[in-house]
Amino acid sequence: MKISCVQMNMEFCSPEANYIKAEKLIADAMNESPDVIVLPEMWNTGFFPHENLAELSDKNGEKTKAVIGSLAKKYNVNIVAGSVANVRDGDVWNTAYIFNRDGEAIAEYDKTHLFTPMNEDGFFRKGEKLCTFELDGNSCGIIICYDIRFPELTRSMTVDGLDFLFVVAQWPDVRIPHLATLSRARAIENQMFVACCNSCGTAGQTVYGGCSRIIDPWGEILTETDGNESIISAECDTSVLKNIRETINVFSDRRKELYKF
């Protein structure tokens, strides 16, 4: 499965401009003939407007479904559409949408761990469910940014088998080494591919660091980029999954009776 990560520099508080830009970047990514295109976190508004947040947000994902869903169908490609600020049932959520090749929204995920140092929990509702889905017969899951600091979240998805984890983020440049280490650790400990798509540029007072990467189950970096807006792509050979899982029996050797969670 070939994956392309779109490391987008969105315009802060400018959703209309960002939908137009996302459409262009998705078209550019199709030059790589990917099976899956990935967008970063909160690409419709930037992370995150404190004023007029609800007014700037998507409404029940309607615009995202219309724009990104139509592109998925047009290009016959799966799209992990990052996440968007999204109003639903009177609350604002940080919501990720996943589209198949027919343009159907086959899954959605509300960020479960909100970043309290930036008061995200004061503006958004916490999600209550994990999210797994299939793309072209491959088992996949998604987490959003701060979620990656909670390995128990990822392990809860992977115990039943997961081939790909998509990490969509707006991670600041000052902590990029953390993102690099955590994304590689999640790949190694769970024996799966990790596609980490970060944003870049400035939103409010924060500079976001890019450095998106795609990592194989051995922890090898298949491709990565710097802090500038760019598109990276890698072919992920799923035949290595069987080999590593038979060589290092992490899941069959677990001692569940010793764990507290």
* Active-site annotation, residues: 41, 111, 145
- Token pair belonging to 202: 């400035």
Amino acid sitting at position 32: E
Query: How far, in Å, are 55, 188, 231, 249 from residue 191 at the CA level?
Result: 41, 5, 25, 10
**Contact of 187 with 194, CB cutoff 8 Å:** yes
Could you tell me which of 77, 4, 18 has the C-alpha nearest to residue 49? Answer: 18
- Token pair belonging to 159: 């115990």
